[in-house]
């Protein structure tokens, strides 16, 4: 059994009402989009919307799909100071199913078909010795810290061909898939050996800043202009 966990805390420091503000003229915005995508994935048995925002809870309560479950999250777990680690420890208290797919409304380009492939990859790689999955974007370029390159060495070539650089992987928060036992045993949404599931750049887009919101809206409108 797979439960999708969709956290939507109240307030946003960077984008006001990010989860539910109109997105590309869609009422309910990113929440509406993500709910539709998750409901269309037939491998997901239930969808837990966890929020301390009454407007999020109201939108979710109007959904007629019996798989949609509302969790009125305590305010102390929905503030701007709440850490992800604190929320991870809370999840086993509201979900008992064997596997948890943690995802976010801020990844609108991860569709039901992508979730299907992610879940398939998770179960396939469990057979190969992995114990969880997380999505990521591959970085293969000139990546520096404040002083020096960290993705390559300038001792051989100062500007090597990027395709020869050993890639790094940026976890994009699109999806984390793990067993409930990992949550309990490690207080984490991944296990000890996660499989890194590489996504194309657009799928990895996470709406965190106002410019992200505008860019995602423009892409969404372009993709759906003939729908």
Report the chain's C-alpha Rg in angstroms. 19
Residues 11-47 have pLDDT tens digits of 787 899 999 999 999 999 999 999 999 999 999 999 9
pLDDT tens by residue, 179-225: 999 999 999 999 999 999 999 999 999 999 999 999 999 999 999 88
179: which strand partners? 99
> Shortest CA distance to 87 belongs to which of 78, 96, 95, 98?
78
Q: Delineate the domains of the chain, giving CATH numbers in brackets.
A: 2-137+171-223 (3.90.550.10)
The count of C-alpha atoms lying within 13 angstroms of the C-alpha of 147, restricted to the half-sphere facing its C-beta, is 0
Longest dimension (CA), the chain: 61
Per-residue pLDDT tens digits for 40-61: 999 999 999 999 999 999 999 9
The pLDDT of 55-84, averaged and rounded, is 94
Identify whether the C-beta of residue 16 lies closer than 8 Å to the C-beta of residue 67.
no
Picking from 59, 61, 172, the residue whose alpha carbon sits closest to that of residue 109 is 172
Q: Residues 47, 3: contact at Cβ < 8 Å?
A: yes
The whole-number pLDDT of residue 14 equals 85
pTM of the model: 0.95
């Amino acid at each position: 059994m797979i439960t999708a966990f969709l956290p939507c805390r109240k307030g946003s420091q960077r984008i006001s009402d990010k989860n539910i503000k109109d997105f590309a003229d869609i009422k309910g915005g990113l929440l509406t989009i993500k709910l539709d995508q998750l409901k269309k994935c037939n491998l997901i048995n239930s969808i837990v919307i966890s929020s301390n925002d009454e407007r999020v809870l109201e939108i979710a309560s109007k959904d007629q799909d019996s798989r949609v479950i509302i969790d009125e999250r305590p305010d102390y777990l929905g503030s701007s100071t709440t850490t992800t680690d604190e929320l991870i420890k809370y999840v086993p208290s509201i979900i008992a199913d064997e596997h948890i797919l943690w995802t976010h409304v801020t990844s609108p380009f991860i569709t039901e078909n992508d979730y299907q492939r992610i879940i398939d990859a998770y179960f396939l790689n469990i057979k190969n010795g992995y114990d969880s999955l997380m999505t990521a974007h591959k970085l293969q370029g000139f990546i520096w810290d404040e002083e020096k390159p960290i993705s390559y060495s300038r001792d051989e070539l100062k500007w090597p061909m990027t395709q020869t650089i050993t890639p790094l992987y940026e976890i994009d928060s699109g999806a984390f898939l793990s067993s409930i036992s990992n949550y309990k045993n490690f207080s984490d949404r991944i296990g000890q050996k996660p499989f890194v599931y590489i996504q194309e750049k657009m799928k990895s887009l996470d709406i965190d800043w106002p410019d992200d919101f505008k860019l995602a809206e423009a892409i969404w409108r372009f993709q759906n202009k003939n729908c």
